[in-house]
Structure formats: structure tokens, C-alpha cells
Amino acid sequence: NPSKKPLIYNAILRGRDADDFSLPKGNTVTIAPKKQASMNVEFTIHFLRPAEALLLLTTHGIDAATLTFSLKSEVKHIEPAGVIKCKSPCYEL
């Protein structure tokens, strides 16, 4: 934030898989004057295909640019959540 006033951004997730992404610290990001800020975006996998969404950061009343980020997932490793053992006949008349 190069200005002398704090910037307050509202974060919005949009797109095909926006529901798979979340902002654990809420939808508001405040950047102090002459400082930088970071925010975490979490992803919950539902399918093996890559997920895509947009992260939009908008301000109200302040002359600041809207920031747009493209979010894309990449699955590199999968571990089973658990193993279930069961017995069942293969075939019955």
C-alpha cells in the first residue's frame, strides 16, 4: 500500500469451483499505510480434476485498483482417509 491511508479490501471468490476455495480469516483484508499484507486461501478437494476460481479484492470509496487473482488447484499426492474391511458373499443364487 503506497498511500498514507489504510486500504480495506473486500475479498470475493467467483467461478466454476469457487465453493471449493475459502478464506479462513474472513473476507476483509486491511493493508496499513506503506505496508504489505498477505492472506491465506484454503482449498478443499472434491474431485481429481483441477479446480479454478477467481479471487477479487475490491475497495469502496477509496481510489484503489481492484485486484484479481486466478486460483488453480493441482493435486500432487493422495492418501486414503481410511480403510474399511468387510465380508460379503461374491455371489448368491
Q: Give pLDDT, residue 56.
A: 96
The answer to whether residues 30 and 8 touch, using CB atoms and an 8 Å cutoff, is yes
What pTM was computed for the model? 0.74
The answer on pLDDT for 35 being more than 90 is yes
pLDDT digits (tens, 9 = 90+) for 72-86: 998 888 888 888 888
Band the pLDDT of 48: cuts 50, 70, 90. Answer: confident
Q: Give pLDDT, residue 88.
A: 83
Between CA 67 and CA 20 the distance in angstroms is 20
Which pairs count as long-range contacts for 36-41, CB under 8 Å and 24+ apart, including other chains? 36/1, 37/1, 39/11, 41/71
Question: For residue 14, how far is the Cα from the chain centroid?
Answer: 10
The answer to whether residues 45 and 20 touch, using CB atoms and an 8 Å cutoff, is yes
Q: Give pLDDT, residue 53.
A: 96
